[in-house]
Amino acid sequence: MKIECTIDNKHVLLTVNSNKPLNLILMDELETSHMETRCRDGNCGNCVVLLQDEAVLSCLIPAFRLKGAKIVTFEGYQKSRFWHDLERAYEDTGSHPCPHCYASKTLIFESLLQTVVKSESGPSHDEEPDETTIVREVGLNKCPCLDAHEILDIFRAAAAYRRRRRVRRY
Amino acid sequence: MYEGIRSPAVHMPKTMNDLVSASTRFPNATFWAGGTFIMSRHDYYPTRESNDIISLGEVPELKRINRTDRYLEIGSMVTFEQMLTVGKQVLPGLLQTTLEGTATKIIRKQMTIGGAICTPQSRLSLPGTLSALQAEIEVKTCLGQKTETRWIDINRLYDRHGTLQLKKNDLVTRIRLGFERENFSSFICAGNPMINPEETVMLSFACFYNQAVINRFRMCLTFPTTMFLIPHEIDMMMHGTMLPLSTQQIDRVVRSIMEGVFSSNEHEIPAIQLERARRFVESAMHELNAQSLSER
């Protein structure tokens, strides 16, 4: 099956099996270095990417859903300005995800930060996440390197940077 | 590694008519809703036996949520997260708790209500809750170019072991819920039905009462791979009972349910599931008592 899509702002034409999961496409066809998962059952949470700006587990996305899609992996995300909010939040709090889950947890944090921005910019179905939701969402990645307090501290610090960024833009 | 692996043909109907015709032309094709269950199987990819796929994601009729005077009608391709945006006034509390307690938001955005009902091998949390809420399911049967539509009680979708009773040419299109709200509800789940189904137990319980007299007492115990138990006799037994329940009444309910568990399953049920089931039922009864006492 031929699929045209955008991966990390690059237009790509893939010839892959229609039911091949996105994580395997990224690892086999594009050799994405941050994609480590081979769990194949959505349990490790290590294969998070942004699909149409929303965090998804790439092992649960089949190739045929990618027609015309915009995919951002951690490598692409590192080139965006939003990455610096989280980078600074990690430095400020002194808590970092371990190298094994760094990419995945960072993208989950990013998807949570997007709901903060959406909820402040007008009526939206996305409410600002509460503490339980934040811890639970980040817990999608099963790596236990961050405890709940660290997760919340990182989120609060990054959300503050993100809000400032929005204020400056206006 | 992937040599000889066939790429299944994917059909993406855009209307109900297209969908009916696709399912008639490709009777062995797999209906694809959110894909979270199918793709989380260990043997999903690569595999040499992959059926063609009929993706349901582009049929607008299946993505609608309709509110009539009497019912809430939910299309089978509505995601869990979309359902949660319907609002607490419209969505029954038990359903809201069940949806919120299922996976994380990232996965809920992909899980669909129809997919959760029609998982082939194991029962997840939603069927039990819909059963406790006495939901009805619209099933369309494709008969050549014609379709036959019927509304059935969700309990008729499964046998006592939780095996799906749909035929190959049957398609779940809508789910209907009444607006009558339960006075008390409880959803308890221990374990993860996707990772360790042999240890997982889920209890969905809805109780309707008026002036401390029970009118309806709906309970569903789900053991993901072995049992889908709806103890109808308990509903009859508890009808007209005054709240709070006495210790003897609670014991009787627990004993009756556990007898139902043993009698409806010839396989040996793991001790952890039995223990969890017993405790969940007890816990739900005590919570019901607590609520009824606090309302006095």
- For chain A, the structural domain boundaries read 2-77, 82-169
Judging contacts by C-beta atoms under 8 Å, the chain A residues touching residue B39 are 21, 42, 59-62
The terminus-to-terminus CA distance of chain A in angstroms comes to 45
User: B36 CB near a chain A CB, below 8 Å?
Assistant: yes
Cα B120 from Cα A43, distance rounded (Å): 20
- Selected residue of B50, B104, B107, B122 to mutate for chain A interface (largest A Cβ count, 10 A): B104
Q: Looking at beta carbons, which residues of chain A come within 8 Å of B41?
A: 41
Shortest CB distance from B106 goes to which of A21, A62, A140? A140
Distance from CA of B72 to the nearest CA of A (A): 19
Cis peptide before B8 (omega within 30 of 0): no
Rounded to an integer, what distance in angstroms lies between the CA atom of residue A142 and that of residue A101? 9
Contact (Cβ atoms closer than 8 angstroms) between residue B23 and residue B169 = yes
Cα distance from B13 to chain A (closest Cα, Å)? Answer: 13
d(CA A102, CA A78): 12
pTM of the model: 0.92
3-state DSSP percent of chain A in helix, strand and coil, to 5: 45, 15, 40
What stretches of chain B adopt beta strand conformation (E)?
Answer: 10-11, 30-32, 53-55, 65-67, 71-75, 136-143, 146-153, 170-178, 184-190, 201-210, 213-223, 227-229
Distances (CA, A) of A153 to A92, A108, A131, B65, B246: 9, 15, 10, 38, 47
Tens of pLDDT along B66-116?
998 889 999 999 999 999 998 878 899 999 999 999 999 999 999 999 999
Is pLDDT at A117 greater than 80 in this prediction? no
- Check residue A165 and give its pLDDT: 80
Residue bearing tokens 């082939």: B120
pLDDT band of residue A79 (cuts 50, 70, 90) is very high
CATH of domain A82-169: 1.10.150
pLDDT at residue B136 in the model: 96
Q: Which of B6, B10, B58, B80 to mutate to test the interface with A (most CBs of A within 10 A)?
A: B10
- The tens digit of pLDDT for each residue in B248-277 reads 999 999 999 999 888 876 678 899 999 999
Return the CATH fold of A2-77.
Answer: Ubiquitin-like (UB roll) (3.10.20)
Per-residue pLDDT band at B60 (split at 50, 70, 90): very high
State whether A48 and B106 contact (CB < 8 Å): yes
Whether the predicted pLDDT of A41 surpasses 70 = no
pLDDT at residue B131 is higher than 60: yes
* pLDDT score, position A170: 44
| Max Cα-Cα span within chain A | 46
Instruction: Mark yes or no for CB contact B110/A56 under 8 Å.
Output: yes
HSE-up of residue B211 (Cα within 13 Å, Cβ side): 0
- Return the pLDDT at A126: 62
